[in-house]
Structure 1
Amino acid sequence: AGDAVPMRFSLGGNRGLDVLDNTHSFASQQVDCSTGQALQFGITTPTEQKARTQLRYNRGQDAYFYLWDTDEEWAGTCRQFVVTVEDGTQHRVNVQLT
């Protein structure tokens, strides 16, 4: 918690850097560490895109990369990181923060 966590995902090839839903591209929400269920359904925290955290594509790895700045207050919790692409599809991963 409080560090930048590198997030990597693939969309089956380079779809360009305009593949994200511009309103809710990256967000996270607190989840129960045992079940992975959201603790407050529908309440997400959007991530702030800064120059160092902006989305990048690596052709050699066929993957997109994003640095997720986490909050120190999230220590000891689990969060679900959510990527929303342009067509509204969401990709999720649960992370335990220490």
Structure 2
Amino acid sequence: MDLTDEQWTILQPFIPEPPRRDDGRGRPWKPARDVLNGILWILRTGAPWQDMPDRYPPYQTCHRRFQRWEQEGVMDKILLSLAQDLKERGELDVRECFIDGTFVV
């Protein structure tokens, strides 16, 4: 399940602009929405990065962006916003929670 347009509209302001090289060289960055959908797939399924489906950007790209966004505090803002969205829609049930040590930062 990927982000809806409404969810993306809420989260997009948290996503930093990709760095730009003065010399104009380098590959263009993969779209942030596609990368975030891949990251959320990993977080939701608990699968290893290399098992990410082909519909997302390469797992290496998603993993690097996840690490960068985690260090910059972006992931905290995104996950809190998604949790708030679920809570407002009455779809957040905190009576049962699971912790997976794979994602301890």
For normalisation by structure 1, the TM-score amounts to 0.30
Task: Select the structure that is richer in helix.
Answer: 2
Larger radius of gyration: 2
Task: Select the structure that is richer in strand.
Answer: 1
